[in-house]
Structure 1
Amino acid sequence: MRTDGDSETDFPYWLVAIVAIGAVLSYVIFTNDLYSKVFNAISRGVEITVFVTLVGFALASLVGLTVAMMGLSGSLALRQIARFYVEVIRGVPILVLLFYIAFVGAPALVWLINAVTAPLQAAGLMDEVLVRDISLMWRAILALMIGYSAFIAEVFRAGILAVDKGQIEAAEALGLNAWQRFRLIVFPQAIRTILPPLGNDFVAMVKDSSLVSVLGVADIAQVGKVYAAGSFRYFETYSIVAYIYLILTIGLSLALRRLELRLRRAEEKP
């Protein structure tokens, strides 16, 4: 077993193999009428998949950072609330959370919004706006946001704790307030530790976004399921579905790996 090797310096034979397989599959897709038809049908779901992933991950990162800061605060109550949130959410499967938010949380949120705004509308303090429903796509986004925010909170917390306390104390001695210390000292250093696991969560959300198909959201998985059920071309359809997801996830993985390498080189420069 090699113990002195560096996978970063190894020639990427795996990438060559993936590119070769991808090139063959692309050739088959664009030269075979059947596969081309299936690809064109399923590619309509790419936009929804990308939108759900980007919005869900952005919101999850904001919530995760907030929860992480609560967990690192000087308030015992905030720390306990953050710990409670992380442990409970991490213990619930994403699919169960998706159903719960879609069929319990969203209707409760609609009722709460209407209950709070009704007195204001009656008093003439705001225009009459009745929230009747939240779309299934936004219910799915909320579920992914809540589910991933707990994991992302731990990523942020670990990255912030990895920053040398001496630098924080030095910044405090220079008169920097808490926000300035976080913005100028803590976060720029923590992001180097945070980026790899955060990138892994992003790639994982691309795959888990396929779970929104259980709500009928027209993402790649749902479009593929409907097409396969109507055409009975299960092999061709799900081969294309897997192909599209692999393009998205491997492309993201390579981009994140390149960004991580650039940050590492920038850190090593004198």
Structure 2
Amino acid sequence: MNLDFTQIVPSIPYILEGIWVTIKIVLAAALLGFSLGIILALFKIGRVKVLTWLADAYTSVFRGTPLVLQLLIIYFGLPQLIGFEIDAYPAAVLAFGLNSAAYISEIIRAGILAVDKGQREASLALGIPYKRMMKDIILPQAMKNILPALMNEFITLTKESAVVTVIGAMDIMRRAYIVGGQTYRYFEPLILAGLIYYIMVIGLTLLGKAVERRMRKSD
């Protein structure tokens, strides 16, 4: 086996710098996806048929098409419509955030519907407004139930963020590919990139379990 990891040692700091690019994209996309996901979930369980249809259509489109296609449409196709180019970072955040919102909306919808109906009936009987009931009573209970699923979506988003390399964002994968081109050795830097992603996912998994245990104790 013609492997020599010593040749990429000088490039390790360069590849590691991509972690911060990945983290910035993932955090911004997760925030966008979570915020939009809540709105879509409320539309889906609401009584306004038009909003329910729009939310279901949105989810169907973003779950039914490849993420990389959505990213390429936003980065390469959208400038054709709006008349100016979009940088790689906002394009990635927008694509990942919109895509994640479709999945998160289904998770939140299921969590809301899993809350005991008696909670809603008691709130209405006490005259609590719908918005306040959802914000202070239903959603907090739903979040406790869906935390593992939300954490899993965040982990998936972290791994899928690697596709930003196709639009030139200088994330972990892109930097590993550049190092491979400079050294004519692709296996070693790509393995290093895989190890970095693996460590990040393990860290997120442990964080999720810690938060889950803390929430159980607070019950």
Contact 1:38 1:240 in 2 (8 A): no
Aligned to 2:60: 87
**Which of 13, 21, 29 matches 1:56?**
29
Contact 2:36–2:101 at 8 Å: present in 1 too? yes
What letter matches 1:135 in structure 2?
A: D
**Percent of aligned positions with the same letter in both sequences?**
33
Q: Which residue of 1 aligns with 2:152?
A: 200
Q: What is the DSSP-based 3-state SS (H/G/I as helix, E as strand, rest coil) of the residue aligned with 2:218? A: helix
In structure 1, which of residues 230, 237, 241 is the aligned counterpart of residue 193 of structure 2? Answer: 241
Specify the alignment match of 2:10 in structure 1: 37
Aligned residues of 1:98 and 1:143 also touching (Cα < 8 A): yes
Moved more, 140-149 or 211-220: 140-149
Compute the TM-score of the two structures, normalised by the length of structure 1.
0.76
Partner secondary structure for residue 145 of structure 1: helix
Give ranges in structure 2 of 5+ residues lacking alignment. Answer: none
Q: How far apart, in 2, do the equivalents of 1:258 and 1:106 lie?
A: 43
Stretch moving more, 180-189 or 216-225: 180-189
Find the aligned partners of 1:221 and 1:175 in 2 and give their Cα distance.
54
The amino acid of 2:20's aligned partner reads E
Tell me the distance in 2 between the aligned counterparts of 1:133 and 1:238.
Answer: 30
Question: 1:38: Cα distance to partner?
Answer: 2.9
What's 2:184 paired with?
A: 232
**Could you give the per-residue CA deviations for residues 226-252 of structure 1, whole angstroms, max 9, x where no partner exists?**
111111232321121111111111100
For residue 258 of structure 1, report the CA deviation from its aligned partner. 1.4
Contact 1:63–1:149 (CA under 8 A) maintained in structure 2: yes
Partner of 2:51: 78
2:57 corresponds to which letter in structure 1? Answer: F
Please list, as runs of the form range in 1=range in 2, the aligned pairs for 1:181-196 lying within 5 A after superposition: 181-196=133-148
Q: Deviations over 1:53-88 (max 9, x none)?
A: 000111011111111111111111111111111111
Question: Do the aligned residues in 1 keep the contact of 2:114 with 2:142 (CA within 8 Å)?
Answer: yes
Does the 8 Å CA contact 2:111/2:143 hold for their aligned counterparts? Answer: yes
The aligned amino acid for 2:93 is I
Instruction: Quickly say closer, same or farther: Cα 1:72–1:197, change in 2 above 3 A.
Output: same
1:107/1:62 Cα in 2 relative to 1: closer, same or farther (>3 Å)?
Answer: farther
Root-mean-square deviation over aligned CA pairs? 1.5
8 Å Cα contact 2:8/2:179 also seen in 1: no
Aligned residues: 215
Secondary structure (helix, strand or coil) at the match of 2:86 reads coil
Aligned residue type for 1:46: I
* 2:130 counterpart of 1:178: yes
What is the TM-score when the length of structure 2 is the normalising length?
0.93
Please identify the structure whose Cα radius of gyration is greater: 1
> Does the C-alpha gap of structure 1 residues 82 and 149 become closer, same or farther in structure 2, counting only changes over 3 Å?
same
Which residue type is aligned with residue 184 of structure 2?
F
Q: Secondary structure at the match of 2:17?
A: helix
User: Residue 251 of structure 1 is aligned with which of 192, 203, 210?
Assistant: 203
2-side partners of 1:245 and 1:106: how far apart?
Answer: 31
Q: CA deviation at 1:176?
A: 1.1
Residue equivalent to 2:161: 209
CA distance in 2, matches of 1:106, 1:68: 30
Runs of 4+ in 1 over 4 A off after TM superposition: 32-35
Shift of 1:264: 2.2
Within 5 A, what are the aligned runs for 1:145-156? 145-156=97-108
2:90 to 138, 152, 168: 138
